[in-house]
Structure 1
Amino acid sequence: MFRRKSLLWWTVFAGWTLFGVVLSVETLTLRNAAAPGTGLEIGHALRTGLASAWLWVPLTVGLLALVQRFPIGRDRIALPVLLHAMAVLAIILLRALAVYALNRWIGWYAELPEFSLVLTASVAKNFLIGWLIVGVAHAFLYYERSNQRERHAVELEASLMQTRLQALSAQLNPHFLFNALNSVSELVHRNPAAADRMLVSLGQLLRASLDRSSVQQVPLREELALLERYVDLEKMRLGDRLHMHWEIDRSLLSVPVPRLLLQPLVENAIHHAIAPRLQPGRVVVGVRRSGDELVLEVHDDGQADPAQPGNGHGIGLANTRARLRALYGENHAFELTRTAGDDGTVARVRLPLRALELAA
């Protein structure tokens, strides 16, 4: 607060000093042009001009403080207007008293007139300036309040967006756990030893997932490491029926991506394209750069049509779409389409690399 007050005083002082210099030069020029023989001294002109200007410094700060404390608004008009009017009248009187008391040293008048004449001159010179300062003070006050409301709106929007992202992220862990436990339950009676191994692996996987549950973005290498643990779980359940292929541009491993972005896509491919059939199936995970975009793809060779309702595309994909919208707005793409030749489905996510690199 002290720094702001100090800055205010210095700003007001600098402004009135500049005004005083301009006024002095203007007075000197006009006097000498009107009466060339009089030879008004520049020292006298500067002394009177700067003295008049500097008298305004404390008065201006006082008016600014009064406006800050009692601004004119839609809900308060009468009292602030009355207070500002009284302040302007007090300024007129104070400046008249100051001129009357300091004239012998400053020299505004060659011969000091009666106080009534000095007061009349003060009314003519200072009434408009006083109200002008009140108006400028209100303009700055309303501008500052407008900026504060805008900042608060932006902060509120960011807070609400963060809350929404956290809620969406919180949905992923129970959904992920539910599906993983379903996979374990399929083996409990058929292959207890494999089910036991899956439970151990599931515990490790959930621990790794929950350790970063409050983080929205992680490096690609962490996302792939978590995904590999999930794939290992599914391989215990599906055995040779699941063939995984990885096509990763390793130069992109440090690029941040949304946490648990790929896992729901791979889970969707496995559960709806590989698990329902008896013959082996393939899932390809690809990460590459395309111009200024990061492209992440999950391609399966199943026959499930993602466009058909009731195909099981539930919270995982809906959550992914919502999180991408929350994180990137319209500056991303998420496609779920059949491949050419009807040999599978591709889930493709395009993210702006520039935004990702800035977030790193």
Structure 2
Amino acid sequence: MTITTIRKKYIDIKLVLLLAGFYLLFDIVLIAKVAYMQAVVLHDQYFSWGSFLIHNILLDYIIVVSYMTIIAISTKRFLNKNYSWVRIITFHTILSILIGMVIRLVLDFYTILTGQQTLAEYDFRESVYAFMFVIDLNFLIYFAMVFIVYTYYYLKQVKQAEKRHIKLESQIVNARMRMLSSQLQPHFLFNTLNSISVLTDVDAGKAKDTIADLSDFLREILYKSDSNVIILDEELRILEYYLNILHVRFSDHLNITKEIEESFRYKKVPALLLQPLIENSIKHGYSYDHTDLHINIAVFSEQKKFILKITNNGASITETHAQLMEKGVGLRNIDDRLKNLYGKDYHFEIRNRENQRGVETIIEIPL
């Protein structure tokens, strides 16, 4: 294992910089306090700024940041081991006392090493007194930095958990959409092949044209099978192949018009949405009393919603929207896909037109 690998595994540079920045802020406050005390209170006493900055600030800063880096590494291991809080608090309480001892011993060693005092002049009791004088301050600083360490790791774990959750949700959505798509394609294919079967006996030439349109249509939807959403303009282009199949079958008895706001042609909509809606309008629109059917596809916006409205002048429906959902594979598939993509933030309804003959299908999704 290389040094770089070890560093990445055990040392978080961002956390070390965070701890270093916190203690730097503490030292700046300390320097400001000492400067004020020297200028206002202790101005007549001798004071060496050089000695203070080197001995009391620089060395202390290096020791504390190095010490807390080791603590950060051990804390990460604690989190991975899932130790009890009693054990963790006891461990950090001992280390909060130990940090004061380490600082004191290093400073004492430094003064002896630099000749500021000899080993014979060294007074252990004075060193203990200096340690006890700041033990409460060391304790507070230590736990403040430990709090930073735990908060940092906690937030990091929360972000990682959120990323995993989002990724998992995305995988679930994609899996559901693939399942629904695979359910819808055989349903459409079954209905279209039935139409071709009828055309074969009536007009073989038209049957061949229909097979060609079916081939183009299937090629398009298979290429888009991994897409949950598609640009509306592409959806309309794919729909044209299906409409060609319908016009061959119904001839002049079927008229389909489109009212599309140009600004919405490049908006994304659920893939393969229009075909089953048109199919449903034809299925319920034709009757003995309604042999000529006009279907209109309208796309517009209303109250910050993307509205798709498909209307026909055919027979009225006698069943409720819920009953239609239970009976129709294609309609239930659309509702499942909308729910999967938008949660509760959508509206899908099939109803009779008010004061007019025919039925309208309304889909509202977020812009």
TM-score class normalised by the smaller sequence: 0.7 to 0.9
1:40 aligned to 2:52? no
8 Å CA contact 1:71, 1:80 repeated in 2: no
SS across alignment from 2:84: coil
Distance 2:58 2:289 in 1: 93
**AA aligned opposite 2:352:** R
2:200 match: secondary structure: coil
Query: Aligned pair 1:201/2:201, yes or no?
Result: no
- CA shift digits 1:91-111 (9 cap, x unpaired): 343222201111355979xx9
1:20 aligns with 2:47: no
* 8 A Cα contact 1:307 1:337, kept in partner: no
Structure 2 gaps, min length 5: none
**1:284-310 Cα distance to aligned partner (Å, 9 max, x none):** 122234463332221111113164436
- What is the match of residue 229 of structure 1? 241
Instruction: Decide whether the 8 Å contact of 1:284 with 1:298 is kept in 2.
Output: yes
Instruction: Check conservation: 2:15, 2:152, Cα contact below 8 A.
Output: no
Contact 1:218 1:256 in 2 (8 A): yes
Task: Work out the CA distance in 2 between the residues paired with 1:73 and 1:40.
Answer: 49
Higher mean alpha-carbon deviation, 251-260 vs 32-41, is at 32-41
CA deviations on 1:100-159 (whole Å, 9 max, x unpaired) are 111355979xx9652344245335433454344334422332332233223322332232
What is the alpha-carbon distance in structure 1 between the residues aligned to residue 154 and residue 263 of structure 2? 51
Check whether the contact 2:286–2:315 (CA below 8 A) recurs between aligned residues.
no
Distance 1:312 1:43, change over 3 A: closer
Q: Matches of 2:115 and 2:44 in 1, distance apart?
A: 22
Q: What SS class does the counterpart of residue 150 from structure 2 fall into?
A: helix
Question: Aligned to 2:309, what secondary structure does the other structure show?
Answer: strand
Structure 1: unaligned runs, 5 residues or longer: 354-360
2:259 to 244, 247, 252: 247
Which residue is 1:121 aligned to? 130
Return the offset for 1:193. 3.7
Matched, 1:319 2:333: yes
Partner of 1:356: none
TM superposition score normalised by structure 1? 0.84
Contact 2:37 2:43 in 1 (8 A): no
CA offsets per residue over residues 34-63 of structure 1, 9 Å max, x none?
444214243343332333233211001111
Count of aligned pairs between the two proteins = 351
Matched residue SS, 1:55: helix
Task: Return the match for 1:61 from 59, 69, 75.
Answer: 69
Contact 1:32 1:39 in 2 (8 A): no
**2:273 alignment partner, one of 261, 271, 294:** 261
Q: For residue 320 of structure 1, report the CA deviation from its aligned partner.
A: 1.4
Q: What letter corresponds to residue 121 of structure 1 in structure 2?
A: A
Q: Do structure 1's residue 95 and structure 2's residue 109 form an aligned pair? A: no
> What pairs up with 1:265-280 in 2 under 5 angstroms?
265-274=277-286, 279-280=291-292
One-letter amino acid matched to 1:55: I
For 1:236 and 1:205, locate their aligned partners in 2 and report how far apart those are by CA, in whole Å. 15
User: 2:353, 2:121 → 1: CA distance?
Assistant: 98
Query: Against the structure 1 CA distance between its residues 87 and 239, is the aligned structure 2 distance closer, same or farther, given a 3 Å change threshold?
Result: same
Deviation at 1:175, TM superposition (A): 1.6
After TM superposition, the structure 1 stretch with the greater mean CA deviation from structure 2, 271-280 or 93-102, is 271-280
Look up the match of 2:349.
Answer: 335
RMSD: 3.2
Is the Cα–Cα contact under 8 Å of residues 332 and 351 in structure 1 kept in the other structure?
Answer: yes
Cα distance in 2 for residues equivalent to 1:129 and 1:78: 20
Alpha carbons 1:103, 1:112 under 8 Å: kept: no
Contact kept, 8 Å, 1:59 with 1:91, in 2: the verdict is: yes
Could you say if the C-alpha distance between residues 256 and 90 of structure 1 is closer, same or farther in structure 2, counting changes exceeding 3 Å?
A: same
Q: TM-score, normalised by structure 2?
A: 0.82
Cα distance in 2, alignment partners of residues 28 and 135 from structure 1 = 29
- Sort the Cα spacing of 1:72 and 1:136 in 2 relative to 1 into closer, same or farther, 3 A: farther
Is residue 316–residue 357 contact of structure 2 (8 Å, CA) maintained in 1?
Answer: no
Mapped contact 2:227–2:271 kept (Cα < 8 A): yes
Aligned: 1:169 with 2:200: no
Distance 1:160 1:80 in 2: 38
Q: Which moved more, 1:47-56 or 1:343-352?
A: 47-56
Following TM superposition, by how much is the alpha carbon of 1:27 offset from its aligned partner in structure 2, in angstroms?
Answer: 3.0
Range moving further from structure 2, 283-292 or 219-228: 283-292
Structure 2 match to 1:76: 84
Q: Distance in 1 between matches of 2:115 and 2:243?
A: 90
What letter is aligned with 1:56?
A: V
